Amino acid sequence: MTDLHRSSTTHQTPLNPPLDLAEFLAPGVAADDVPELAPLVAARPLLDAFITLFRGSEAEVLLRLLVLREIGRESDSPRWSPDALRARFTYLDPVKLETVLKRLRDNALLAFADDGLYHLSDLGRNAVAAIAMLLRFADGEDAELGFLTAQLAGLQAVGSLTPEALGHLLSKLNDLTWHFEEAIASGSEFHILAARRRLSANEKWLARGTEILRELLADPDVPFEIATIAQRIGLAQSRLARADASFQRALNKIEAQRVTLGASGISSSDVSAWLRTLTAERLAAFADEALALVPEIALLAGGHELLDRAEAVLSDEVRAREVDTTLPPPDAAEVNTAPETEDLALLEHFAGRLGAVTRPASLAEVVAGGGFAPAAYRLSLLALLADGESSGPADGPVGEFMRLPLDVLFGDTLEAVNEDEIALISAGRVAPRGTSDGYDTVRPEPLDRLGTGPVEGRLQQTGFDRLSPNGR
């Protein structure tokens, strides 16, 4: 049997050769020129311990971890005699056990004291504790968030919180946010529900992280860099806290679009969920006898059909037409350069009519003629003329109309017309400028003496409310 009492010696093994990074760096760059390497080089003994544990085949790694964890599990009796180790690991091959112990011993993970007993070194116990914490969070979904939060809580408790540790938590929170946004954007009910379950599973870690941040930011002596990252973590947690409402809105939209299969009460989501539980073989079986293979039908054609096809293939003229891509000649399109003009014939005719006014005339005399519509148009022009020359354009027929030397006066009562489709019109007059001596000379007849009854169809637009159609 292999002797387990072999003395422990610490020496450089082929597993950990001297550090030489020259072949990994760019030409002209030394390791000292890369400040990011400094903390890793300083922690090389710790890294060597993990290299020792995880180098080799998977079986070798599992065997080393098994032996190291079992030795460190005995808290009451942390020291092991060689016989006790052989009795504890009776299920292992003695030669393999000696190989594992020697490897752990040579790389300072396991110590062999002068009293002939094995025990974990400080480096080995730290490695076992770190692996135990990782294994503790390996069972649940998103265990990484729980591990990072627990790590922050421990570092904060001992006052060793670092920006790097906070950065890991911030990166995880941003990754969760991206995952949830992708689930909502997919529009898949199953992806959204899975993301919602994932959020629910992490709620306790989010709450614990909030408590840590609250205590951290309450400290007035917290370093600025740590406070900045902590605030960014708080914003990321706020976005995650609103994710549940976003999930519900997306599910409500899906619910509104859900289709129910007849009166069965089975929805399209139920069918989709059931199909997702089936294997690929069962899904493929649904296509059996559902697809019909139609044989390819041979071309059946007589002499005339074959001749038509041959002509299209053999005729040079037909082929020339098929390959001719010349554009047709341009055609001279008719271009109407005359701009569109507004028909102002009625305005010009009315301006000439007003130019012939030499004495005061009532509104009915001036605007009547041609029916209700032309009269209403003329009355609107008189209202424009009454507003003054400054309210119209300076040029054109409208400008000439606005410069007519006339005074337009409107009263507050109506007078009867009862002709030319006009029942009532505002009392008023048009007079040459300078001849008006006031509106009191106009005496409209009171409405109660007209006997016309109620006025129908009165327009309520500006200018038109002074004139009403005659019962039309």
Domain boundaries of the chain, sorted by first residue: 22-136, 145-254, 345-469
Distance spanning both ends of the chain, measured CA to CA:
126
Owner of token pair 């292992």: 92
Q: Which residues contact 14 (CB under 8 A, 6 or more apart)?
A: none
| Mean pLDDT of the 294-304 span | 68
Nearest to 470 by CA among 427, 419, 428, 426: 419
Sign of CA dihedral 446, 447, 448, 451: positive
- Residues 127/109, Cβ–Cβ less than 8 Å: yes
The pLDDT of residue 14 is above 70: no
Stated pTM of the model:
0.46
* The predicted structure's pLDDT at residue 331: 76
CA distance 132 to 146: 14
Total count of residues recorded for the chain: 472
Q: Are strands 422-432 and 406-419 parallel, antiparallel or unpaired?
A: antiparallel
**CA–CA separation, 230 and 210 (whole Å):** 10
Q: Are 113 and 61 in contact (CB under 8 A)?
A: no
Q: Which of 87-101, 286-300, 429-443 has the lowest mean pLDDT?
A: 429-443
Contacts of 205 (CB under 8 A, 6+ apart): 142, 145, 146, 149
| Long-range own/partner contacts, residues 434-443 (CB < 8 A, 24 or more apart) | 434/405, 435/359, 435/360, 435/407, 436/360, 436/407, 436/409, 439/409, 439/411, 442/362, 442/409, 442/411
Q: Give the mean pLDDT of 162-175.
A: 87
Between 92 and 72, where is the model more confident?
92
Neighbouring residues of 355: CB distance < 8 A, sequence distance ≥ 6: 404
Q: Are 411 and 426 in contact (CB under 8 A)?
A: yes
DSSP state of 422: E
**Taking 60 as the threshold, does the pLDDT of residue 455 lie above it?**
no
Q: How confident is the model at residue 217 (pLDDT cuts 50, 70, 90)?
A: confident
Q: Which of the given ranges, 79-83, 127-131, 179-183, 254-258, has the highest pLDDT on average?
A: 179-183
Does the domain formed by 22-136 have CATH 1.25.40.10?
Answer: no
Which of 1-15, 163-177, 210-224, 453-467 is predicted with the least confidence, judged by mean pLDDT?
Answer: 453-467
Candidate from 112-121, 313-322, 388-397, 441-450 with smallest mean pLDDT: 441-450
Q: Is the dihedral of CA 353, 358, 363, 368 positive or negative?
A: negative
pLDDT value of position 54 = 86
| In the predicted structure, residue 432 carries a pLDDT above the cut 70 | yes
Question: What sign has the CA pseudo-torsion 302, 307, 310, 312?
Answer: negative
The mean-pLDDT minimum among 99-108, 115-124, 176-185, 287-296 falls in 287-296
